[in-house]
Amino acid sequence: MELVGIGEAARITGVNASALRYYEERGLVRPAERRGGRRMYGREQLRRLVFLQLMQRVGMSLDAAGAVLDDPGEQWRAAVREQLDALDELVARARARRSTSWDTPCGAPRTIPRRSART
C-alpha cells in the first residue's frame, strides 16, 4: 500500500483529521513521513488508528490503548479481554432490561426504578 495523506487516512479509518493531529500530538501515532509538509500514513499507522478508535469505543483510555500498541504483551491482552467482558455484561443487562421493562401497550416502563438513597 502506498502512503496516503491525512484526509485520505481520515476517510479510510473514520477518524477525523483533527483527531489524527491530536493522536500525533499525544505520541499515539506518527505519520510514516512528511511530503512537502503533509502528513503521510502507511498501513501500520492506519492499523494503529483503527485500534485506538476501537479501544476508545469499548471504554479504554487513549493512554492504555497506546500502551497496548507500544508494548503488546499478556498483561495488556488481559486488560483488553477484561474491558470486552465488561462491555458484554453491560450489553446483556441492557438487553434484559429492554425486553422486560418496556413491553407495555403504551410503551411506558412497567416499573420506574427507584433511586437509591444517598448516605
Q: Residue 33 — very low, low, confident or very high, per pLDDT cuts 50/70/90?
A: very high
102 pLDDT exceeds 60?
A: no
User: Would you report the helix, strand and coil content of the chain in percent, each value rounded to 5?
Assistant: 60, 10, 35
26 pLDDT exceeds 80?
A: yes
103 pLDDT exceeds 60?
A: no
Mean pLDDT, residues 61-76 taken together: 79
Mean pLDDT, residues 28-53 taken together: 92
99 pLDDT exceeds 80?
A: no
107 pLDDT exceeds 70?
A: no
In the chain, the largest separation of any two C-alpha atoms, in whole Å, equals 63
Phi and psi angles of residue 36, each rounded to the nearest 5 degrees, phi first: 60, 35
- How far apart, in whole angstroms, are the C-alpha atoms of residue 55 and residue 49? 10
Coil/strand/helix, residue 48: helix
When mean pLDDT is compared over 20-24, 52-56, 66-70, the highest value belongs to 20-24
23 pLDDT exceeds 70?
A: yes
pLDDT at 10: 94
Angle between helices 43-57 and 6-13 in degrees, nearest 10? 50
